[in-house]
Homo-oligomer: A and B are copies of this chain.
Amino acid sequence: MKNFILQNENGIYFECGYSCDNAIYISLGSETFFITDGRYTVDAKENIKNNSEIIISNDLLKETRRVLKKSKIKKIHFDPNDFSVATFETLSLKLDIKFIQKPNFSKHKRIIKTEDEIQLIQKAMELGRDGFVKFAEYVAKDGFWKSEQYLAYMAQTFLSQNGNYDLSFSPIIAINENSAKPHAVPTSKIYQEDDLILFDGGIKFERYCSDRTVTFGNDYSKLDIYQREQRFSKYEQQKVYDIVLKAQQTAIKKAKLGMKASKLDSIGREIIEKAGYGKYFVHSTGHGVGLDIHEYPNISARSDFILEENMVFTIEPGIYLPNEFGVRIEDTVVLKKEGAIIL
């Protein structure tokens, strides 16, 4: 695919090593163009790693059309998810060029990570784990009688190291019945002793994301979150936790090159189903991680992906009992010849 056009920030970064929130990137094979506005002139010149021609304009679409017209190309590829109807119409109006839809082509290009990319994600994971450790220490010492909102703020503080790192997403902090919502938003609910608390968060290191989830029990004396064992005060919480843990660890252990992603999804799912909680595992097993927090491959029952070396993805089964509680355990792994390695 020689000729393509991109608007997505991470997609552009992947192509040329720089991006910003107002840019269009055009590839015409050996010739590439980075079009942005005057706010980013200096940064673009300093950071673009290939030989893209940098074009500064207040009207990016007009410049894009000018480049395309001048190029005399007959066709160009684009991702129909990457452009609004309005932008695409302005871009393509009366141009004698065929725009060919290639849904998610940038995510497909990014699915196998380089060793450099894997190292960045590993670094992001390490920094992220530091945040989890600090959060666990904080919860054990000062967390009681704080709200989910406040604990989420503290989670941000620890993950970002006081603003030094951007977050992959707003962390989820969910207590007891709120943890039964897979995408819970922190509320004013107060954390008390013996509560179950779910913490899903990650940071970015040089733009690459980390992603991790811990469901904390109540053994505050040894909240070693590198070790996945947790103790819960309620019998069913412990039972459900141990099932999810078995599902997660088994999936990690059995992931291998050449396996269908749908097969990997089924490994943990079958464990949860056999334990009688199948209908409470309401999402897929995982997703790719990279510049975006959600990339390819999808690890789901309907996924067509085959697992290859140097794919990076999450393994995060969960059980969600409405109005009671939820458990999710998540690691991000890289797939190697020897299997899945937790980053």
Q: Please give the residue numbers on chain A whose beta carbons come within 8 Å of chain B beta carbons, in ascending order.
A: 38-39, 79-89, 101, 103, 149-150, 152-154, 156-157, 160, 162-164, 181-183, 186, 282
Contacts and interface: CB of A to CB of B under 8 A. Distances in A.
Nearest to A84: B81
A190 B108 CA distance: 41
Nearest to A22: B183
A86 B80 CA distance: 5
B186 A163 contact: yes
A157 B160 CA distance: 13
Contact of A182 (B39, B150, B181): B39
A139 to B, nearest CB: 15
A189 to B, nearest CB: 13
5 closest pairs, A vs B, by CB? A153-B163, A80-B86, A80-B85, A81-B86, A149-B163
A87 B83 CA distance: 10
Nearest to A156: B163
Q: Which of A162, A181, A186: most chain B CB closer than 10 A?
A: A162
Contacts of A164: 149-150, 153
A204 to B, nearest CB: 13
A182 B40 CA distance: 11
A153 B162 contact: yes
B81 A82 contact: no
Contact of A83 (B79, B84, B154, B163): B84
Contacts of A153: 157, 160, 162-164
A306 to B, nearest CB: 24
12 contacts: A38-B282, A39-B183, A80-B85, A83-B84, A85-B85, A85-B101, A86-B101, A86-B103, A149-B163, A149-B164, A150-B163, A153-B164
A293 to B, nearest CB: 14
A133 to B, nearest CB: 19
Nearest to A39: B183
Nearest to A160: B153
A22 B103 CA distance: 20
A178 to B, nearest CB: 12
Given A84-B80, A86-B81, A162 B181 contact: no
Given A85-B88, A86-B101, 18 more contacts: A39-B182, A79-B86, A80-B86, A81-B84, A81-B86, A82-B84, A83-B84, A85-B85, A149-B163, A150-B162, A150-B163, A150-B164, A153-B157, A153-B160, A153-B162, A153-B163, A156-B163, A157-B157
Contacts of A162: 150, 153
Contacts of A163: 149-150, 152-154, 156, 186
Nearest to A184: B39
Nearest to A82: B84
Q: Which of A38, A81, A85, A181: most chain B CB closer than 10 A?
A: A85
A154 B162 CA distance: 8
Contacts of A150: 162-164
Contact of A80 (B79, B80, B89, B101): B89
A84 B86 contact: no
A156 B162 CA distance: 10
